[in-house]
Amino acid sequence: MTIKKAVIPAAGFGTRFLPASKVVPKELLPIVDKPTIQYIAEEAIDTGITQVILVTGREKGSIEDHFDISFELEHHLKSKGKNDLLKMVQDISEMVQIVSVRQKTPLGLGHAILCAKQIVGDHPFAVLLADDIVDADPPCLRQMIDVYNRLGKGIVLAIKEVPRAEVFQYGIIDGEGVEDRLYKVKSLVEKPLVDEAPSNLAVIGRYLLPPEIFEVLEELPPGKGGEIQLTDAIARLGEEIPIYGYRFKGERYDAGDKMGFFIANVRFGLKHPELGPRISEFLIKVAEEIRGKP
């Protein structure tokens, strides 16, 4: 049975993005002209996911609104004959079935996933973190589900090599290569100290998980930072079922970090069909100014 449901946690305060995220959820900040969370939803849909479960929090209702119909806006665009924009707006609300659930207290990523338990039910499911934008064809999640379907079991995590000095920002695996791009994970640890990290293979925000993860999360004590950590739940479940790390093909951007967000804007801007050539010209001009050329 393949994976049809995806959970997107979006309940965090987005403190790394203050002041921009004080009122506007960071998931709605645009990369070029699209909110980051729409890139994530599109990846899920392009993979064949049929139900997206958003885990939101207070002050985050505008994320749900973004994927809902917008009666006044659509009426306005229709009356002005702006049919291209009307279609774009309607396409967003027709994308996929979106269900949302609230995480009432911010107790960590593992707890956010646990909030989706009733809606996910008794099926394996995907988790996509909205901070991690992956530009890939086929989509990162599709690549992972292909691996999962071939293996027919277990947990699959997206992984990527990161500079050793950055391991403290990620879940890090201790794994053994079993085939091209695929690692059997022996253990994993959330945000280890640089000296204690078992490798520099980091978990990037894409996970394929079995429903048994919920039972583990329910019993799990707080971990790193006093939060219920998804990494810890996966490590514990790994004592019973195999965990695989898949080194996906594609470019990943950390859109939850100011610099990563800026880089994503430049890269996606350069690929934008209308703006790309102008952005490229502009960047060349800026680079020449920086280098002191006329």
Least spacing, CB of residue 129 vs ligand G1P, in Å: 5
Give the footprint of ligand G1P on residues 140-169 (CB under 6 A).
none
Spatial separation of the C-alpha atoms in residues 175 and 183, rounded to whole Å = 6
Spatial separation of the C-alpha atoms in residues 206 and 172, rounded to whole Å = 14
Binder to ligand G1P among 202, 209, 220, 237 (CB under 6 A)?
202
Residue in the shown chain whose Cβ atom is closest to ligand G1P: 171
Least spacing, CB of residue 108 vs ligand G1P, in Å: 8
Spatial separation of the C-alpha atoms in residues 236 and 246, rounded to whole Å = 19
Q: Based on the shown chain and the rule CB under 6 A, indicate whether residue 231 belongs to the binding site for ligand G1P.
A: yes
Binder to ligand G1P among 27, 43, 132, 232 (CB under 6 A)?
132
Q: Based on the shown chain and the rule CB under 6 A, indicate whether residue 35 belongs to the binding site for ligand G1P.
A: no
Nearer to ligand G1P, 92 or 109 (CB): 109
Least spacing, CB of residue 9 vs ligand G1P, in Å: 9
Q: Based on the shown chain and the rule CB under 6 A, indicate whether residue 204 belongs to the binding site for ligand G1P.
A: yes
Binder to ligand G1P among 6, 129, 201, 264 (CB under 6 A)?
129
Q: Based on the shown chain and the rule CB under 6 A, indicate whether residue 109 belongs to the binding site for ligand G1P.
A: yes
Nearer to ligand G1P, 167 or 279 (CB): 167
Least spacing, CB of residue 87 vs ligand G1P, in Å: 33
3-state secondary structure the chain: CCCCEEEEECCCCCHHHCCCCCCCCHHHCEECCEEHHHHHHHHHHHHCCCEEEEEECCCCHHHHHHCCCCHHHHHHHHHCCCHHHHHHHHHHHHCCEEEEEECCCCCCHHHHHHCCHHHHCCCCEEEECCCEEEECCCCHHHHHHHHHHHHCCCEEEEEEECCHHHHHHCEEEEEEEEECCEEEEEEEEECCCHHHCCCCEEEEEEEEECCHHHHHHHHCCCCHHHCCCHHHHHHHHCCCCCEEEEECCCEEEECCCHHHHHHHHHHHHHHCCCCHHHHHHHHHHHHHHHHCCC
**Binding range to ligand G1P, per CB under 6 A, among 34-42, 68-76, 176-184, 199-207:** 199-207
Query: For the chain, what is the largest distance between any 2 Cα atoms, rounded to a whole number of angstroms?
Result: 64
Binder to ligand G1P among 27, 43, 190, 232 (CB under 6 A)?
190
Helix axes 230-237, 212-219, angle to 10 degrees: 120
Number of residues that bind ligand G1P (CB under 6 A): 13
Nearer to ligand G1P, 106 or 276 (CB): 106
Nearer to ligand G1P, 35 or 86 (CB): 35
Nearer to ligand G1P, 92 or 214 (CB): 214
Q: Based on the shown chain and the rule CB under 6 A, indicate whether residue 131 belongs to the binding site for ligand G1P.
A: yes
**Binding range to ligand G1P, per CB under 6 A, among 56-64, 99-107, 127-135, 148-156:** 127-135
Query: Residue numbers of the site for ligand G1P (CB under 6 A)?
Result: 109, 129, 131-132, 170-171, 190, 202-205, 230-231
